[in-house]
Copies of this chain bind each other. A is one copy, B any other.
């Protein structure tokens, strides 16, 4: 490959001159602008390439010594990277929470980098700071619906924060529970608070053996990461087995009481508004009662489901969320914003002061710098993407999208239900559902002896894994898989297909094709064929 000149003159050109309009980079740009879907179908060439093969293109750990020409590098990006990336825009990519995005984000992304603001402080962000505060205010309002006076008082107050913008739901959950922890173990008489004295001293002072966090076992894995990071410990993540996919308030209360009676303190109950695996919503209102009775923080992880609040028709599925002390929402999920836009919202704008910090050169006392209460430091202006989406789509636009997704999930559920060779394993609540291939010969599986159920489920699990992999590798469509406990199979965990119906471009025809493709793959599978003919043949 020809190497570019090593000179400051060449570098200045790289900083100040756009690429020629015939260059590869300029062509990439035009193609993206004109027709992103065409760009992706032309360049994301899914071959059955194994990861190991792809790794060969990324195997050197040496920093390239000499500069490369931009256009040559752009060619290499197309061939090595774009060709082997994932077409998340595709209407048949329904396995994860990434979807097609509105077109305007392409230009906004460019504007964002062109402006390259740093939102940690006003001196490097100026109007972006009030914009981010307003965006958080709108999301706060969506959840908590306080009166005008409230938002007048707090939206731009230097001593308060309605929320915290962050890179994603994990940091949002950490932020919320960090605040909850520091609030619970705050300063008290001569004790300076956990933020200063540390966790061990705080437990000694308050006389707690441990503090704990409770959620259903469908809680996102970021919750156990959170209790690890915060020093609480994963053993104090009280996960309640929930074969209904929802945290049972009675069980929560009982477990919480028992935990507290043994010298511990329950820090928080987590209600989930849209589990990652099946989209279920915990009974938030009843869990708020439990949290009140146990006198603990109530956090709602609405990373996925939060956007349902835009829909007047389905908003009530999240009833009780307004009683949460804190809520996490990811705009890069059902708000169709590019990756990297998480938010934690706080019911009480004073609570964020539990983690407020200062520095000499920024975040001075009394400043409105956003960095004073965020977990992250330097941050980009992703809030602009959320702000623009809220304006361009509007609440009513989001409502249409949310309604469409949920209703498509119900239609897909019905397609699966009436199909003799598939089994719906969880009903949709929001736009997620799970199902599996199950031969018609096994439609009465739940009524069989327990040991037969286990045996057959094991074989069906292998089948599901195999079909899911083959379908992914074929590259036309993608569903994911997970393991969930199913009540009617005695609470046994089984492997299932998992789909997320959030791409507005996905139609019923796409879904029907996906089922057909799975069935075709299964028809070439030994387990499937054996089970179809004689379901109990291999049972010892």
Interface: A445 (CB within 8 A): no
**Known interface pairs A124-B96, A221-B357; A114-B376 also in contact (CB < 8 Å):** no
Interface: A523 (CB within 8 A): no
Interface: A397 (CB within 8 A): yes
Per-position binary interface string of chain A over residues 60-99, scored 1 when its CB falls under 8 Å from any chain B CB and 0 otherwise: 1111111111100110110011111110110000011110
Using CB atoms, name the residue of chain B closest to A199. Answer: B231
Using CB atoms, name the residue of chain B closest to A236. Answer: B198
A504 and B15 contact, CB distance less than 8 A: yes
Residues of B within 8 A of A101 (CB): 15, 113, 116
Residues of B within 8 A of A453 (CB): none
Interface: A130 (CB within 8 A): yes
Interface: A320 (CB within 8 A): no
B39 and A18 contact, CB distance less than 8 A: no
Interface: A338 (CB within 8 A): yes
Smallest CB-CB A-B distances: 8 pairs: A231-B231, A198-B233, A199-B231, A84-B127, A170-B377, A61-B137, A61-B151, A361-B482
Task: Tell me the bound Cα distance from A481 to B33 in angstroms.
Answer: 42
Per-position binary interface string of chain A over residues 218-230, scored 1 when its CB falls under 8 Å from any chain B CB and 0 otherwise: 0011101101111
Q: Please name 16 pairs of A and B residues whose Cβ atoms are closer than 8 Å in the assembled complex, sorted by A.
A: A18-B34, A19-B104, A61-B141, A73-B392, A85-B115, A88-B124, A101-B113, A106-B113, A116-B339, A167-B171, A174-B375, A198-B236, A200-B200, A201-B233, A222-B377, A361-B483
Residues of B within 8 A of A376 (CB): 167-168, 170-171
Stretch at the interface among A5-13, A253-261, A289-297: A5-13
A86 and B195 contact, CB distance less than 8 A: no
With a 10 A CB-CB cut-off, give which of A116, A166, A222 has the most chain B CB atoms: A116
Interface: A28 (CB within 8 A): yes
Chain A contact-residue range equals 35 or more
Task: Tell me the bound Cα distance from A59 to B157 in angstroms.
Answer: 12
**Known interface pairs A64-B391, A384-B81; A123-B96 also in contact (CB < 8 Å):** yes
Per-position binary interface string of chain A over residues 228-249, scored 1 when its CB falls under 8 Å from any chain B CB and 0 otherwise: 1111111110000000000000
Stretch at the interface among A50-58, A435-443, A512-520, A527-535: A50-58
Task: Tell me the bound Cα distance from A420 to B247 in angstroms.
Answer: 72
Using CB atoms, name the residue of chain B closest to A197. Answer: B233
Interface: A505 (CB within 8 A): yes
Other A-B pairs, 6, CB within 8 Å; known A63-B141, A200-B204: A14-B104, A15-B102, A17-B103, A55-B156, A64-B395, A200-B210
Interface: A35 (CB within 8 A): yes
Task: Tell me the bound Cα distance from A433 to B124 in angstroms.
Answer: 19
Residues of B within 8 A of A140 (CB): 61
Interface: A187 (CB within 8 A): no
**Known interface pairs A25-B104, A340-B379; A396-B66 also in contact (CB < 8 Å):** yes
Residues of B within 8 A of A396 (CB): 6, 65-67
Within 8 Å by CB of A40, from B107, B114, B155, B199, lies B114
Chain B nearest CB, measured from A216 CB (Å): 13
Residues of B within 8 A of A34 (CB): 18
**Known interface pairs A18-B34, A363-B221, A483-B360; A63-B116 also in contact (CB < 8 Å):** no
Task: Tell me the bound Cα distance from A114 to B82 in angstroms.
Answer: 10
Chain B nearest CB, measured from A47 CB (Å): 11
Using CB atoms, name the residue of chain B closest to A181. Answer: B231
A228 and B355 contact, CB distance less than 8 A: yes
B110 and A109 contact, CB distance less than 8 A: yes
Within 8 Å by CB of A390, from B64, B128, B156, lies B64
A233 and B102 contact, CB distance less than 8 A: no
Per-position binary interface string of chain A over residues 363-390, scored 1 when its CB falls under 8 Å from any chain B CB and 0 otherwise: 1000010000001111111001000101
Chain B nearest CB, measured from A302 CB (Å): 15
Chain B nearest CB, measured from A157 CB (Å): 11
Residues of B within 8 A of A89 (CB): 116
